[in-house]
Structures are given as structure tokens and as C-alpha cells.
């Protein structure tokens, strides 16, 4: 190998890391018994530990390795289970000592950007008991922030569980895609990235994120109403509902509109609280943000 060439990571190792990343993603979106949970986590980190030398020898590793470390960073402070938080922290500390570093911009991730100014705001410690009935092993920054007002958080969590996660009616990945449609109108990266994670985890087609022609007709039909709800909700007319009922059932349309309305409201919460995107969901320079460009009255006419 010439001096100008960089060592490459074997394809087999890349494949293993990709599987490991997926296992980590599945892990943080599920719940398991304590012993099984810790054993599963230790099994995942053992793969990463054995592959860490590949990264050191190559000088840099595949992006999947960074992604795995970023998920561990998230679990270190947002996992509901203390044993996993401690295990993730110990693993990351050991890797730093052996030369495996994570970019400082991920390590320094705060729940809110306002936390970077201690004179402005401090985020209270989490009351983990509020999340005992959560459907995921980790909490999100918005859940963390809202849990500082426990009575409000309990109602918020119950509403989101019914609207976004309970079986019946719309498929789960459709619900998360509709939420992305609404949040993207506000250019709210925080909510879009969180809903994108759930969209993909619930079986969503990644092609929908880059190729509008692959999106089902029913979802595309929501575009005009989504635009109106975001910018001029008072212009919503009966005819808009009649048009949607040509491709939607009444029951499913009610759910879709409830999701749109909810996620046209939540960006105000995300922006107002200064929520930071979780470290494993942060955009990389070459990544595309699922973006429905903001309405520009000079370039785009409102639906009538």
C-alpha cells in the first residue's frame, strides 16, 4: 500500500457494524427484562469493542462506527434504565482511553441550546419514574423537557401514545410520515428527525424521503391542506374535506388531520424550548434534510 492510500475497512466488518447499529436502534426503541436487557446490550458493545481496532488501524472507520458511538452517547444520558446508562458511559470512557473519540459536537449535546448559558436556564434532573410506562428504552429531548412539568407531561404522553403508537386505523409509519409533513413546513429539524427515526423503525420506505413519486396518493393528497393548516388555517373550507374524502375514509382522515394539527403546534414548543437534535439523529454535511420548503407567497400560490 502506498503512503497516499488509506487503509480500508473490510466489507465484512462494515456489514457487521451496520447490523450492530440496527441492533442498537432496535434496542433503544424497545423494552426488555433487566437481565436480558443488559446481556443484549453487552453483546452489542462487545462487537463494537472487537471492531474498534479496525478503526484505529485504518486511521478512520466507516460512518456506521461513528453512528453506533453516537447512539451510545444518547443512551448514556437518555436511557430509562440506570444499568444501561452506566454500561454505555463505561464503554465510551474505555473507548476514549483507547483512542476512539467521538466528535465534541456530539459529546456536548444538550437537551436545550439554552443550557449552554447556565445563567439563562438549567435543566432539572429527570424523574425517571414518569417514564415507567414508556414504550421505548430511551426518552427524547422533548419528553425530558416536558417532564419538568409532570402533570402536563402525563397528559402529553397519553395523547401522543393514542395518536401515534396505538394499533388500529392508520399504519404507524403513515402516522409518522404525516407528522414529518407538518413539522417540515415549519423547518423544524428537531421534530422531523425524531419522526423520521420512528417512520423508518416502523417499516417506512426510505424512498418516500427522497422521491415524492413513491409516496402513496392518499398522503400526497394531504399537501394542500397541510399548507393551509400551516399558513392560513382560517382558509380551510368544506371543499377541501370533500376532495380528501375522495381518497380517504372518514375515520382515517380524522386521525390524519389530528396528527397534522398536533405537529403544526409542536414546532412552537420545540423552538421555544430550544431543543437540540439527539446526537445520533444530527445531520451530517452530506445528508439531506427531509424538507418541505417554507411557503413563499411570491413563488407559491396558496391552494383555493
Do the Cβ atoms of 182 and 230 come closer than 8 Å? yes
Q: Which helix (H) or strand (E) holds 150?
A: helix 150-160
Please give the span between the terminal C-alpha atoms of the chain, in angstroms, as a whole number: 64
Active site annotation includes 115 = no
- 275 close to 141: Cβ distance less than 8 angstroms: yes
* Closest by CA position to 64, among listed 47, 88, 81: 47
Catalytic residue among 79, 115, 188, 230: 188
Distance separating alpha carbons of residues 69 and 96, to the nearest angstrom: 11
Collect all residues with Cβ–Cβ distance below 8 Å to 37 and sequence separation of at least 6: 31, 81, 83, 84, 137
The residues carrying an active-site annotation are 188
Amino acid at each position: 500500500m502506498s503512503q497516499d492510500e488509506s487503509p480500508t475497512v473490510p466489507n465484512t466488518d462494515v456489514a457487521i457494524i451496520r447490523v450492530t447499529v440496527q441492533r442498537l436502534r432496535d434496542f433503544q426503541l424497545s423494552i426488555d427484562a433487566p437481565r436480558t436487557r443488559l446481556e443484549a446490550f453487552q453483546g452489542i458493545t462487545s462487537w463494537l469493542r472487537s471492531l474498534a481496532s479496525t478503526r484505529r488501524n485504518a486511521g478512520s472507520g466507516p460512518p456506521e462506527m461513528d453512528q453506533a458511538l453516537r447512539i451510545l452517547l444518547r443512551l448514556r444520558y437518555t436511557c430509562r434504565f440506570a444499568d444501561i446508562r452506566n454500561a454505555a458511559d463505561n464503554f465510551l470512557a474505555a473507548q476514549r482511553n483507547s483512542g476512539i473519540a467521538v466528535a465534541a459536537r456530539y459529546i456536548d449535546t444538550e437537551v436545550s441550546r439554552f443550557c449552554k448559558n447556565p445563567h439563562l436556564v438549567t435543566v432539572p434532573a429527570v424523574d425517571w419514574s414518569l417514564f415507567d410506562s414508556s414504550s421505548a428504552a430511551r426518552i427524547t429531548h422533548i419528553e425530558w423537557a416536558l417532564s419538568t412539568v409532570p402533570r402536563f407531561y402525563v397528559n402529553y404522553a397519553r395523547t401522543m401514545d393514542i395518536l401515534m403508537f396505538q394499533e388500529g386505523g392508520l399504519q404507524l409509519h403513515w402516522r409518522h410520515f404525516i407528522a414529518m409533513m407538518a413539522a417540515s413546513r415549519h423547518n423544524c429539524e428537531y421534530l422531523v428527525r425524531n419522526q423520521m427515526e420512528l417512520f423508518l423503525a416502523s417499516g417506512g420506505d426510505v424512498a418516500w424521503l427522497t422521491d415524492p413519486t413513491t409516496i402513496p396518493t392518499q398522503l400526497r393528497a394531504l399537501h394542500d391542506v397541510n399548507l393551509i393548516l400551516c399558513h392560513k388555517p382560517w382558509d380551510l373550507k368544506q371543499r377541501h374535506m370533500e376532495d380528501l374524502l375522495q381518497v380517504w375514509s372518514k375515520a382515517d382522515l380524522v386521525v390524519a388531520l389530528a396528527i397534522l394539527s398536533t405537529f403544526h403546534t409542536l414546532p412552537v414548543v420545540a423552538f421555544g424550548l430550544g431543543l437540540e437534535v439527539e446526537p445520533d439523529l444530527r445531520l451530517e454535511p452530506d445528508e439531506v434534510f427531509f424538507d418541505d420548503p417554507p411557503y413563499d407567497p411570491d413563488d407559491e400560490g396558496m391552494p383555493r
